[in-house]
Amino acid sequence: MLGAAAKGAPVYHYLDRTTASLDLGGRFIVWAVRGWVQAVGKRICPCNALIEGFTRWNAAEALQPFSMAMAILHCEAREPLYFRAPGHSRVSDDEALLLDLFEQAPRRPQNEMREMLGMIVPPTSTSALLIAIETAAAAFEAIGLSPSAQP
């Protein structure tokens, strides 16, 4: 996990949980993160790979900002991010970090979000990442797919 970011983040409520123990929003985001990474690894457009699932859950509006956030993290993260393969039963450290970011974006003050994101990506990428996460999180929340750490 991005050690610097984890020290100030309440991500621990997601660490090493089973995916089955997550709520619907948490499971959806883990599925989307893993699917995005798998698609990029296979040189497939991640939006094309995920659109069917996003549409099925009425989350199509979240796909573009979600994919933008993932692309920024993929290209700009200060340290490599590690995500588990689709179907793996446990949440990885970096998946826990993303779950926390998507859960807290609508509630965490922007200065705190910027500070946290600044530990993950360089300052030149922080604003774009913040907008992407906040936009996707708002879309997820609007349809009831916002993750919650409550078991």
Closest-CA residue to 120 (of 73, 82, 83):
73
User: pTM of this prediction?
Assistant: 0.90
Averaged pLDDT for residues 42-63: 97
Q: Which amino acid is at 129?
A: L
Domain assignment of residue 137, given as a range: 3-142
In a domain, 148, yes or no: no
Burial of 49 (0-12, 13-18, 19+ CB in 10 A): middle
Averaged pLDDT for residues 57-73: 97
In a domain, 10, yes or no: yes
pLDDT digits (tens, 9 = 90+) for 2-18: 443 444 445 567 877 88
For residue 18, CA distances in Å to 27, 36, 141 come to 10, 20, 22
In a domain, 109, yes or no: yes
pLDDT digits (tens, 9 = 90+) for 69-110: 999 999 999 999 999 999 999 999 999 999 999 999 998 999
In a domain, 49, yes or no: yes
- Please state the domain count of the chain: 1
At residue 4, the pLDDT reads 36
